[in-house]
Structure 1
Amino acid sequence: MRLFAAVLPPAEAVEELYRAVAPVRALPGAVDLRWTARESWHYTLAFLGEVDEELLPELERRMERAAHRTDPFPLRVHGAGRFDGRALWAGAAGGLDTLRLLAERADAAARRSGVPMEEHRRYTAHLTLARSRVPVDLTPYTAALGGFEGLHWEAGELSLVRSRLPVDGVPGEQPRYEVVRAWPLGR
């Protein structure tokens, strides 16, 4: 099964961001982007890819340990950015050091469970809003959302999420995400 570890924003933060993104979706060229569904918005900590089900018990045990070793922390959706003209994202502010630490712990938990992980890279907290199959100038979108300051909330849970890819050839089809397990942060 295809998995990732994530922090999920609360419904109020998602709704607030949704209202901020609505006018951005009306900008010229926005119809050419593939906008992610608000139900799928999350901060990915570690992408695990395809995981053999026999690894799940050990993976879940280690993810639980990572969650318990990390205290809850303040977070909010903040600003916007882009990756190579192919992805538009909203950033984060607040306890970023703790968010990065949790990402490192989730990555280590997966590796120690036997999940073959990609090359480790510096963590960038982001919530993907839209993607493009070809590079495009995302500057107008990042400028429109650059000043966004979301409400403060407490990140208190680490989630292991299953990703079901969209069916090829179905217009508007989105990936579907399902929380497999979630653990409270702290003891």
Structure 2
Amino acid sequence: MRLFAALLPPPAAMAELTAGLGPLYRLPGARDLRWTAPEGWHYTLAFLGEVPDTLRPDLDERLARAARRHEPCALRISGGGRFGDRALWAGAEGDVRAAGALAATVRAAARRAGAPVDEEHGFRAHLTLARTSRGAPVDLRPFAAALGGFRGARWTATDLSLVASLLPRSGIPGERSHYTVVGSWPLGGPADAAPGRGAAGGAG
């Protein structure tokens, strides 16, 4: 199962950003972008890749300990940018350093459990909003500029979530991956795992 650890924005924050994206949908080239669904927006702390089921008990226990060592993070969705001509993203402000410290602890915990942690990409607080399609190049600079003034309301990330990424299987062009929360632990709280929260469509 392909897994990653993340902080998930609350519904109110996602609704704010959805409203803020309205003008971007009218920019030239917007229809050629593959926009992600709000249900899939997340701040990735660590991408673990394919994790065997046999590792899950130890991984879950270590992630629970990692969550307990860190306090909740006060954040807000703010600004935006792009990864070259590949992806458009919204940023964050607030306790970003604290989120980065949590990410480092999560990566260490996953490594000790034997999970294949992606070491190539370090933590960078961002929500992926859209990706370009092959054969349909889009200049993302106007989109990133339009996001520059966005600043959502403050919210608190209270849980560390372990999410399964389910790749499309239908073969239908444009179908998104689906995300399912398979574990959740309170930051600064007890180490007991909460049950998974169900599937959500989208990509982040």
Q: Same fold (TM over 0.5)?
A: yes
1:174 aligns with: 176
2:108 aligns with: 108
Deviates more, 1:130-139 or 1:57-66: 130-139
Deviates more, 1:161-170 or 1:138-147: 161-170
CA distance in 1, matches of 2:153, 2:36: 21
1:157 aligns with: 159
SS class of match (2:117): coil
For 1:171, give the aligned amino acid: P
For 1:38, give the aligned amino acid: P
1:118 aligns with: 118
Report the Cα offset of residue 172 of structure 1: 3.2
CA RMSD of aligned residues (A): 1.3
2:13 aligns with: 13
| 1:1-187 mapped onto 2 (5 Å cutoff) | 1-134=1-134, 136-167=138-169, 169-187=171-189
Deviations 1:86-116 (A, max 9, x none): 0100000000111101111111111110012
Identity of aligned residues (%): 57
Aligned residues: 187
Report the Cα offset of residue 168 of structure 1: 5.8
For 1:98, give the aligned amino acid: A
SS class of match (2:175): coil
Kept in 1: contact 2:45–2:106 (CA 8 A) = yes
Task: Give the ranges of 4+ consecutive aligned residues of structure 1 lying more than 4 Å apart after TM superposition.
Answer: none
SS class of match (1:12): helix
Deviations 1:133-165 (A, max 9, x none): 346421100011111000000111000001101
Alpha-carbon distance change, 22 to 167 in structure 1, aligned in 2, over 3 angstroms:
farther
For 1:79, give the aligned amino acid: G
SS class of match (2:188): coil
SS class of match (1:23): helix
